[in-house]
Amino acid sequence: MHLLYMIFIDPFVQMGTAPDLLAQTLWEGLVAGVLYALIALGFVLIFKASGVFNFAQGIMVVFSALTLVGLYAHGVPAFLALAITVGVMFLLAMAVERFVLRPLVNQPDIVLFMATFGLTYILIGSGELIFGGDPKVMISDQLLLPSGAYQIKTLGGFVQMQKIDIAAAVIASLMVASLAVFFQKTRIGRALRAVADSHRAALSVGISLEYIWVVVWFAAGVVALATGIMWGARSNVSFALDIIALKALPVLILGGFTSIPGAIIGGVIIGVGEKVGEFYWGPLFGSGIEEWFAYVIALIFLLFRPQGLFGERIIERI
């Protein structure tokens, strides 16, 4: 009886009596969710265009952030370093297409999935070899990102908002908006959507798959860089960050593997759910439920909608 009370009534009583705490938790969840959504966005871009479940997305986040910080540490001005990092991500996209995707075209999904694991190892090894494995501080001041926090007096208490979090949310929304425009309005964007619909049909109307793959991996690389900067500014840049890739997976299954809005909304649901769950229900189970809570939310969703919230309906034929 007590347990039921603790699960079903007490957390809501707490929410009601301290609305400022609830607002703070919701805000933190929202910010975490935006960052999850950014990673999920990288996954979705690649999955839509090449059907590859890119496990290396998490490590691409770390690798790009590390390149940026490493270049700056070697005396390159911050914005030049940013430009060079974008260039590096482009080269990476070219290399992946040439040496991984092209030889493996038409192989089963699981083989391509496995190949991205190989890519993960290469990126971890070369990142640590070139820039060293110790955690680094993101150069957020040099990139003119704001620091500090706003204190908002509301709901009978204070809600603290880090400026960097607000910047992250703004940049993420800008990024999603520009991607949406890119997909809907530009020539390359149309080609990308065509490839996502059907590889063969796209090929037959003269769209070059190789070109599209480079573009998509490059776009995912840029998204990874943005994620890396934002996440790096909140904590340090280190290879421990690759765990966030695993955090993004429930977001993916929640939003659907093929939907960009799904990635965003899924990210926010998971981020908020995780923080609220940890804060209000966590003490009940002993803390640390953040690790698997997202997966449980996603699993429950999956049981009712196997294709995710916005995924394309799965139709099976014999």
Q: Which residues bind another protein (CB under 8 A)?
A: 53, 99-100, 103-104, 107-111, 113-115, 117-126, 128-129, 133, 246, 249-250, 252-253, 257, 285-286, 288-289, 291-292, 295-296, 298-299, 302-303, 306-308, 314, 316, 318
**Minimum gap (Å) between residue 307 Cβ and another protein:** 8
Six-digit token pair at 206? 């003269």
Nearer to another protein, 100 or 216 (CB): 100
* Residue 38 CB contacts under 8 Å (≥ 6 apart), including other chains: 172, 175, 223, 226, 227, 230, 267
Compute CA distances 292 → 100, 270, 275, 288, 298, whole Å.
32, 11, 12, 8, 10
Q: Rounded CA gap, 117 and 214, in Å?
A: 19
Q: Where are the alpha helices (DSSP H) in 97-131?
A: 109-131
**Minimum gap (Å) between residue 34 Cβ and another protein:** 21
Phi, psi at residue 305, to the nearest 5°? -130, 90
**Minimum gap (Å) between residue 129 Cβ and another protein:** 4
Nearer to another protein, 23 or 298 (CB): 298
CB 286, CB 232: distance < 8 Å: no
Nearer to another protein, 113 or 158 (CB): 113
**Minimum gap (Å) between residue 299 Cβ and another protein:** 5
**Minimum gap (Å) between residue 251 Cβ and another protein:** 10
